[in-house]
Copies of this chain bind each other. A is one copy, B any other.
Amino acid sequence: MPQTDLPAFDAATAVTRTEGGGLVAALDPGWDVGGGILNGGYLLSVAARAALLDSPHPHPVAVSASYLRAPAAGPATLTVVPGPAGRTLAHAGVTLADATGPALTVQVTTATLGTDEPEYRHPAPEAPSPEQCSSVAEHRELAPPGVQVPGLSLRVDTRLDPATAGWAVGRPSGEPVLRAWMRFTDGRDPDPLALLTFADALPPTSFALGDLGWAPTVQLQVLVRALPAPGWCLVEARSSEIAGGWVDEDYRIWDSTGRLVAQSRQLARSPRRRVSPRDQVT
């Protein structure tokens, strides 16, 4: 029975136990990054939801995934192998597979997160208010032919800080940094599962260098540090090095109170540099 009363994110990441005891999900084609490729953070939220079903703890605090191949939208199975579980934390391994086979393997550590005042904190960066920022979906419509408007950007309202949005109007900053406010378009408030999606939901940092190609994630780790307050999250991604066909992306996410609530790091394949007209072989 379709659960039409659920917010879009919860419906799209739902994991159900079959009568045989297995876990299944319906990967939603609407959470793509273009070209029918599902967002890696979205897939991570689905996998973590499966891990939570049997965990003695309610929140994912550390999640690491290897992206073996891009799964198709549609039916998926989730296999959870529970690891040691204690009073403070528990471990599990999750494999998400589509009809073709395994697509990602995930290590999930669960615990109970709170909103305790940090003993040490890294302050949030300055950014204009969401109203002074512009939507990634609109930017993508301005992008060159071949760059589609991803479904993800219609479901996660992503408002780019103009300081990092020059690439959308042909003036890339030259620094691989993107910063944006994020919330679900339907108003669902953030929680730890949502942060797993937000932690991979910006365009590739190489967009800020003028390289508008896809940067497929190879391995992604997300740490969730606290329960986020309701409202917008500020999400910043930056790369330290682009070399030999590889790029790192390092995310920090602050909630609406300025509290650091998540960090992620991924290794991705770097998009090929866009060929400028004078480089074309004639």
> In the bound complex, do residue A61 and residue B242 qualify as a contact, i.e. CB atoms below 8 Å apart?
no
Interface 9-residue window, one of A19-27, A31-39, A215-223: A215-223
By a CB distance below 8 angstroms, the chain B residues around A270 are: 119
Verify if A274 is at the interface (C-beta below 8 Å from B): no
**Looking across the interface, which residue of chain B has its beta carbon closest to that of A245?**
B88
Contact of A241 among B102, B122, B218 (CB under 8 A): B122
> In the bound complex, do residue B241 and residue A225 qualify as a contact, i.e. CB atoms below 8 Å apart?
yes
Verify if A154 is at the interface (C-beta below 8 Å from B): no
Given A62-B218, A225-B248, A109-B240 contact (CB < 8 Å) = no
Interface 9-residue window, one of A1-9, A110-118, A133-141, A178-186: A110-118
Verify if A153 is at the interface (C-beta below 8 Å from B): no
With both chains docked as a complex, state the minimum distance between the C-beta of A261 and any C-beta of chain B, in angstroms: 9
CA of A90 to CA of B223, assembled, Å? 25
Verify if A72 is at the interface (C-beta below 8 Å from B): no
By a CB distance below 8 angstroms, the chain B residues around A118 are: 241-243
Verify if A11 is at the interface (C-beta below 8 Å from B): no
By a CB distance below 8 angstroms, the chain B residues around A69 are: 84
Chain A residues 200-256 with CB under 8 Å of chain B are 209, 218-219, 221, 223, 225-226, 239-246, 248, 250, 252
By a CB distance below 8 angstroms, the chain B residues around A176 are: 120
With both chains docked as a complex, state the minimum distance between the C-beta of A68 and any C-beta of chain B, in angstroms: 5
Verify if A278 is at the interface (C-beta below 8 Å from B): no
Verify if A49 is at the interface (C-beta below 8 Å from B): no
CA of A150 to CA of B28, assembled, Å? 51
> In the bound complex, do residue A242 and residue B119 qualify as a contact, i.e. CB atoms below 8 Å apart?
yes
With both chains docked as a complex, state the minimum distance between the C-beta of A181 and any C-beta of chain B, in angstroms: 20
Verify if A66 is at the interface (C-beta below 8 Å from B): yes
8 contacts between A and B (CB under 8 A): A61-B267, A65-B107, A68-B91, A88-B245, A89-B218, A120-B176, A120-B243, A240-B263
Give me the 10 closest cross-chain CB pairs, A-B, nearest first.
A64-B64, A118-B243, A62-B219, A221-B221, A122-B240, A120-B242, A62-B267, A66-B107, A119-B242, A116-B244
